[in-house]
Amino acid sequence: MQPPVSTGIMLVILQVFTLYCPVWSQNVSKGRDRPRSRRKIPDEQRLIEKLLRRYDTAARPVYNASHQVTVKFGLTLTQISDMDEVNQVLTTNVWIEQEWEDERLKWDPKDYNGLAVLRMPCEKLWLPDIVLYNSADDFTGGYMQSKAMVSFEGNVFWPPPAKMRSSCKIDITYFPFDDQKCHMKFGSWTYDGLQVNVTHRNEKVDLSNYVFSGEWELIDIEVKNNQVYYACCKEPYPDVTFYILMRRKTLYYLFNIIFPCLWLSLLSLLGFWLPPDSGEKITLGITVLLAFSVFMLLIAENMPATSEFVPLIGLYLTTTMAMTSLSIVLCVFVLQLHHPSPNQRPVPQWVKTAVFKVIARIICMKSAVNTASYQDELVKDEMCLATFLESVEAKEGSTCNGGYIPAGVVRAQNHDRNERPRNDKNATYEKISKHLKFLVQKQDYEDQYLDIVNEWRMVACVMDRFLFWLFLVGSAISTTIILVILPMSKNTS
């Protein structure tokens, strides 16, 4: 009888456990939940949950669809990062300031322990689709997803930092003394002015955090509101446009482009002072011309490929290269004058008049020309040999200096001659006379040719100095007009 009693007891225990186990598990779970219900939620969390409970970021922040959302747009310029003249792109670092009213984001600070301003993630709020119209980048990046500051009155302020790359039409007419005026146009891309009105937040751009650029000097920034009517729609589209006026700093270009060009111009002028016999006049001119070509290539790499503008420095280099090329041609002309051909004719009278009397007087070389003429006109002593021949043919008894031998001496000489054979004397005399006449004629021809060569070399020397002063004045005038007067006229205009 023992086993049936123990079996019954076990069944009773199992039934009791089965009945009270669910009740015990519920009490345990309730006991665990009691501390959670007593845990406090932060005021900001409660406020965010309340504000975003039925919030839709796709809807404008107004309850009445006919009302307009006014977005105040401002800009804080921190740095002009780069100006790409070739691609005509301006890169700037800015802080964008956007402010508007959201009617759905209002609360009483007393209910949240005086919480008046709340920082909320911008991706959970309605944001105006304001873009840079003249952006040179794609629109996939967007702004930095910084938090927005929301006040209890519904005012939303969103200041994301951004790097803007805007297209800018570059006017390189006065490069490197140029001023550039670029604009940045901001506006809503889809909302018209009846739905979202974009206006400027401040009259001036904040420059308190501006980092000065080593290449550009910031002159002024203007802010303007515009309303544009596009062909697609009849509603106006407002925008805020910032006009940035900046001036290029020229110190870098003075030491790296302009001053080297001036030195090369002076080197091209020194070619007129080189002696023609040195053989380096043409070599120097060609070397300077190649150096100018290198500078022209360096400048062309930094300039946009456009035919609308011609920079001043390019115009200056082109003018200087043209003058250098002309100087090489004129050096060839001077060398031709200095080295005449064997059949060179004498200097024409009109050339002597123009060069020796007019040009030489202008460049103060009259004294040098007179000295050379005086040396050419010196009367040379008569050659004894030529006088001897003439005197022998004219009469007997004359000396080589034009004097006469006494009669007794002449008779003695005649007596000696009569003693010699007449035929031998005549043959020897004729042979000597023929050789002496040939030598005298050759010497006279060489003297005449040397006089012609000296005259042409004097003409070359005068022309060399005249071309030097002519090119010096031309270089000074072109440099003053292109690099001084034209930039000053740009500033005055």
Digit-coded pLDDT (tens) for 183-222: 999 999 999 999 999 999 988 899 999 999 989 999 999 9
Dihedral angle sign, alpha carbons of residues 111, 113, 117, 118: negative
- Residue 185's H or E segment, with its range, is strand 179-188
Question: Which tokens is 59 given?
Answer: 């809807």
Which single residue is written with the structure tokens 């060009």?
Answer: 261
The pLDDT, as a whole number, for residue 172 is: 85
3-state SS, residue 357: helix
What does the pLDDT read at residue 369?
59
Instruction: Give Cα 290 to chain centroid, integer Å.
Output: 19
CB 78 within 8 A of CB 93: yes
pLDDT digits (tens, 9 = 90+) for 304-337: 777 777 888 888 888 888 888 888 888 888 877 7
**pLDDT reported for residue 392:** 47
Q: Is 425 helix (H, G, I), strand (E, B) or coil?
A: helix
Please report which helix (H) or strand (E) contains residue 79, including its range: strand 69-84
* Beta-carbon-side half-sphere exposure of residue 190 (alpha carbons within 13 Å): 5
Q: What whole-number distance in Å separates Cα of residue 420 and Cα of residue 226?
A: 128
Contacts of 284 (CB under 8 A, 6+ apart): 267, 268, 270, 271, 274
CA distance 434 to 172: 81
Write down the pLDDT at residue 7: 61
Given its phi and psi angles, is residue 84 left (phi above 0), alpha (psi -120 to 50 degrees) or beta? beta
C-beta separation of 241 from 168 below 8 A: no
| Best CA proximity match to 186, nearest among 209, 211, 213, 205 | 205
Task: Show the low-confidence residues of the chain (pLDDT under 50).
Answer: 1-3, 5, 20, 23-25, 27-37, 374-389, 392-405, 409-410, 412
**pLDDT tens digits, 130-166:** 999 999 887 666 678 889 999 999 999 999 999 999 9
